[in-house]
Structure 1
Amino acid sequence: MNTLLNVLSIKHPILQGGMGNISNSILTAAVSEAGGLGTIGAGTLTPDEVEAIIIDTKKRTSKPFSVNVAINVTPYTKEILRLVVKHEVPVATLSAGNPTPYISKLHEHGVKVVTVVASVKQAKKAEDAGADVIVAEGYEAAGINSNLETTTLTLIPQIVKNVNIPVVAAGGIADGKGLAAMLVLGASGVQMGTRFIATKEAPFHPIYKQKIVQATDHDTVIVGRSVGRIRRVLNTSYSQKLLQLEQEGTTLETFNQLTSEDYHILGAIEGKEDQGFMNSGQISGLIDDIPTINELLTQIMNEAKTEINKVSHLL
């Protein structure tokens, strides 16, 4: 069985999660240059916008990166996948929908396919459809999450037990200890989102970065439960406004409008915490610095090796 590193042609078993409409070439390229797999999140960006980011990313790095297509979110799934093929992007990440219709076509053009799942059932279907790598995401993660609310700790070993392709753990990972833990649970690597926000290269608002650095273990909240659209965000005045609307009986339509990517940009890019939301995983309470991407990946790999060696004598 091919390892994750061989399948994706990367140095470190660390993937960057897609970040919707705040995706950019700077962060994507920096992660890939440091040996991980950078990812452009197409979100609801137009094909022209996605193409511009792909072109700029290729100018910044010659190393592999991915384009994440949220199938049931974007109205441009086929158009964006055509761009992946056109620009010879080596990896496509498919999430939020059924990847089956697209995998074989991407394989025809030599594109590796990563699929994001939240259950054993979804993982087995993805493997049967021909996925090369599975990202299994627990509900500790930032942003839109599965209504199943399964934790990463319980999800990973169950999925690993039921599939034969590399499994990447996502949700609740920000350091080498997290990587070591997931490897012991059977994962082949990890995917991180929140940890990459608080880095020097990430072109997000300083207020957003500082709120993650200053966060405690209970500074994220879940919004959207009442309308079946679970999203984990930082606990800000805007997220409290959303929770209040839910208590008053808001509709799915209103909730979707107030958590659209426009409000994501207001929070994450413009730093207007009272006018827009800031996605953040539970792991934010463990983040206390803003390193470069290269420093971060080097630190994670060294720490993972140290921690595994540290406990080996206990066995």
Structure 2
Amino acid sequence: MKTRITDLLGIRFPIIQGGMQWVGRAELASAVSNAGGLGVLTALTQPTADALAQEIVRCRAMTDKPFGVNLTILPSANPPPYAEYLDAIIESGVKVIETAGNSPKEFIEKLKRNGVKIVHKCASVRHALSAERNGVDAVSIDGFECAGHPGEDDVPGLVLIPLAARALKIPVIASGGIADGYGMAAALSLGAEGVNMGTRFCATVEAPLHERIKQRLVGASERDTQLIFRSLRNTARVLKNAVSDEVVATERRPGGCAFEDIRHLVAGRRGHDALQTGEVDAGLVWAGQVVGLIDDIPTCEALLARIVSQCRERLTAAVSLAAA
């Protein structure tokens, strides 16, 4: 499969594993890259920039294929040392970075100077256009179905993908709501030149998650996610569980909700512990509506082979309908 995304990233298939906190580690990233996609390490999963450099070394020992690093830039009263993480990425020789959250504008010149390709993830066309003007190489456009933060516009991928493809000159990657070749074929037909998957890769053999978490994803329906932080205008989609129920109930209390009221529920360490212990109700578990399409736990190699085969079948079928 040849698109501008495969050429840009040096990969066989235009399939990218999204950066996911606690999940984007060497085991998963290397497996996706070995299968022909682009595996992605998550920088802030590592406690320090030095630890990230070590994880990059570990990933490189598991694959000789390209892989990237996600750096999510979020507003914070006490932000992590983003510049140090950026230096670790560059000095380690990684040639693809996925940025998300706030604009990566202040880092773009340095990344370009060191030959690093920049894929910026955003949830609206206006932010995608801004990223293009700032000089990123591709945009990953995140529909409302996605796990994590879908923005505040609530626009699903079926509308957002073609809007972005029409508006941008750089390649568009479809993100959110994609788990199989049917979704990939749809995304390519809508004008995307690749797909980004997060939740689907959580339910693979190589994902560094407890088996009970993976089985919960397999057993979930498309109705088993929940939107939190709506009242704070920082909307996020997670798997429905006891913690997310309590967050939503707190947000709906008369008189409103401040972040301090829910901080103890949404702490990142609680989410990490839930993923590692398999206690699904111990913390937030981030997941998109695509859980409704997940019904097995394959290897990354088997998953990518199946997705590409399905995608080709669906595109061929669509062409045959047009020919008729």
2:162 is equivalent to residue 157 of structure 1: yes
* Letter of the structure 1 residue corresponding to residue 317 of structure 2: K
2:60 is equivalent to residue 65 of structure 1: no
* Letter of the structure 2 residue corresponding to residue 56 of structure 1: R
> Following the alignment from structure 1 to structure 2, what is the Cα–Cα distance between the partners of residues 302 and 268?
31
Aligned to 1:232, what secondary structure does the other structure show? strand
* Letter of the structure 1 residue corresponding to residue 8 of structure 2: V
Counterpart of 2:15? Answer: 14
> Following the alignment from structure 2 to structure 1, what is the Cα–Cα distance between the partners of residues 287 and 164?
24
> Following the alignment from structure 1 to structure 2, what is the Cα–Cα distance between the partners of residues 110 and 257?
41
> Following the alignment from structure 1 to structure 2, what is the Cα–Cα distance between the partners of residues 271 and 76?
30
Aligned to 1:70, what secondary structure does the other structure show? strand
Contact kept, 8 Å, 2:243 with 2:265, in 1: the verdict is: no
2:275 is equivalent to residue 268 of structure 1: yes
Counterpart of 1:53? Answer: 55
Q: What are the ranges of 5 or more consecutive residues in structure 1 without an aligned counterpart? A: none
Choose the corresponding residue for 2:314, options 304, 307, 311: 307
- CA drift of 1:219 comes to 0.8
* Letter of the structure 2 residue corresponding to residue 136 of structure 1: I
| Identical amino acids, percent of aligned pairs | 39
- CA drift of 1:72 comes to 1.9
2:231 is equivalent to residue 238 of structure 1: no
* Letter of the structure 2 residue corresponding to residue 131 of structure 1: V
- CA drift of 1:150 comes to 1.6
Aligned to 1:144, what secondary structure does the other structure show? coil
* Letter of the structure 1 residue corresponding to residue 55 of structure 2: I
Counterpart of 2:210? Answer: 205
> Following the alignment from structure 1 to structure 2, what is the Cα–Cα distance between the partners of residues 30 and 224?
33
2:201 is equivalent to residue 214 of structure 1: no
Counterpart of 1:41? Answer: 42
2:83 is equivalent to residue 81 of structure 1: no
Contact kept, 8 Å, 1:115 with 1:135, in 2: the verdict is: yes
- CA drift of 1:216 comes to 1.2
Contact kept, 8 Å, 2:5 with 2:14, in 1: the verdict is: yes
Counterpart of 2:29? Answer: 28
Contact kept, 8 Å, 2:229 with 2:235, in 1: the verdict is: yes
Counterpart of 2:125? Answer: 120
Q: What are the ranges of 5 or more consecutive residues in structure 2 without an aligned counterpart? A: none
- CA drift of 1:257 comes to 4.5
Aligned to 1:43, what secondary structure does the other structure show? helix
Q: Which stretch of the first structure deviates more once superposed, 245-254 or 176-185?
A: 245-254
**TM-score using structure 2 length:** 0.93
> Following the alignment from structure 1 to structure 2, what is the Cα–Cα distance between the partners of residues 228 and 121?
18
> Following the alignment from structure 1 to structure 2, what is the Cα–Cα distance between the partners of residues 204 and 151?
28
> Following the alignment from structure 2 to structure 1, what is the Cα–Cα distance between the partners of residues 210 and 236?
20
- CA drift of 1:283 comes to 0.7
1:273-313 deviation line (CA, Å, top 9, x unaligned): 22211111101011000000000000000000001111212
Q: 1:186-197 alignment to 2 at 5 Å?
A: 186-197=191-202
Distance 1:9 1:267, change over 3 A: same
> Following the alignment from structure 1 to structure 2, what is the Cα–Cα distance between the partners of residues 136 and 255?
29
- CA drift of 1:10 comes to 0.4
1:35-89 deviation line (CA, Å, top 9, x unaligned): 1111112236322332222121111112111111111255221111101111000
Counterpart of 1:258? Answer: 265
> Following the alignment from structure 1 to structure 2, what is the Cα–Cα distance between the partners of residues 206 and 250?
34
- CA drift of 1:232 comes to 0.9
> Following the alignment from structure 1 to structure 2, what is the Cα–Cα distance between the partners of residues 232 and 98?
21
Contact kept, 8 Å, 2:225 with 2:289, in 1: the verdict is: yes
Across the aligned residues of Structure 1 and Structure 2, the Cα RMSD in angstroms comes to 1.4
Contact kept, 8 Å, 1:263 with 1:275, in 2: the verdict is: yes
> Following the alignment from structure 1 to structure 2, what is the Cα–Cα distance between the partners of residues 139 and 266?
27
> Following the alignment from structure 1 to structure 2, what is the Cα–Cα distance between the partners of residues 3 and 229?
32
1:211-230 deviation line (CA, Å, top 9, x unaligned): 11001121111111112221
Counterpart of 1:174? Answer: 179
Choose the corresponding residue for 2:108, options 93, 100, 103: 103
Aligned to 1:241, what secondary structure does the other structure show? helix
Q: Which stretch of the first structure deviates more once superposed, 238-247 or 291-300?
A: 238-247
Counterpart of 1:282? Answer: 289
Aligned to 1:35, what secondary structure does the other structure show? coil
**TM-score using structure 1 length:** 0.96
2:230 is equivalent to residue 225 of structure 1: yes
